[in-house]
Amino acid sequence: IGGLLPAIGIAGMNRALSANVLAKSGKAVEVAGDVDVLLLDKTGTITHGDRQATAFHPLAGIDHAQLRDAALLSSLADPTPEGKSIVRLARELHSAVAEPERADYIQFTAQTRMSGVDLPAEAAGGARSIRKGAGDAISKYVQSLGGEATSELVARIEQVARGGATPLVVSEGRHVLGVVELSDVVKHGVKERFARLRAMGVRTIMITGDNPLTAAALAAEAGVDDYIAEARPEDKLARIRAEQAGGRLVAMVGDGTNDAPALAQADVCLAMKKRGFGVGRWN
């Protein structure tokens, strides 16, 4: 029996490799078979993770070009697929805005959930402070400056979210300009795979930074058992610890730096790569 156990582990690793899954150890394969709960970061795992800007929705009194150009300026230094797609869409819609010679770009963080740009007074058009990000984050930001998140903005966000797209709100100073619609696609066949996991007794939970309406629409399309919306890295970690405190074995699937704490806490971590999974135990 002692001699067979390592051989069984190696056989399991080899079988996983044939499915393009690189297992770090035989123990990881063994524990994966006892998992009760599977948490999945949405972007890049359940969806293709290539969200593209598809439309600009200005609020009443805001010119379409004003929203388009502000979104472009805030995205010039954004290295994400979303940011690049905003620049591309704005250019396709004939935006003539040039890259400013002097600008202070604010990078996105999981804590602020927004990014943007500050232009100095000597820049063309004068001093400007543009932000883009999640609806609740931008609403709090403009309110801190004395602005207001109107009912029209809420309606626009809900309209985009109910269609399963991600609404990205753009503001300049204390004024909200409108919403950028970002569309992502659920991977083919995931609903059937989640149904098979459910039949095996594994509960699936989608975790996303999207607002609750977008999360609900995507969760229904993907067929997961539950979801967590507007999640930050610490929220993922807290949910895993809560499941473990209830005596359940937890697997976490993620593909980004922000997923690292949750992957480390899980009983089994599944790190997504462009061509498959890496499966291991961190604890």
Label residue 178 left, alpha or beta by phi (over 0 means left) and psi (-120 to 50 means alpha). left
In contact, 72 and 86? CB cutoff 8 Å:
yes
Say which residues have a Cβ less than 8 Å from residue 83's Cβ, sequence separation at least 6: 75, 77, 115
Judge whether 41 counts as a catalytic residue.
Answer: yes
Distance of alpha carbon 185 from alpha carbon 191, whole angstroms: 13
Catalytic position from the list 41, 69, 210, 267: 41
The C-alpha atoms of residue 17 and residue 129 are separated, in whole angstroms, by 50
Phi-psi map region of 3: left, alpha, beta (phi>0 left; psi -120 to 50 alpha) = alpha
- Would you name the residues annotated as active-site residues? 41
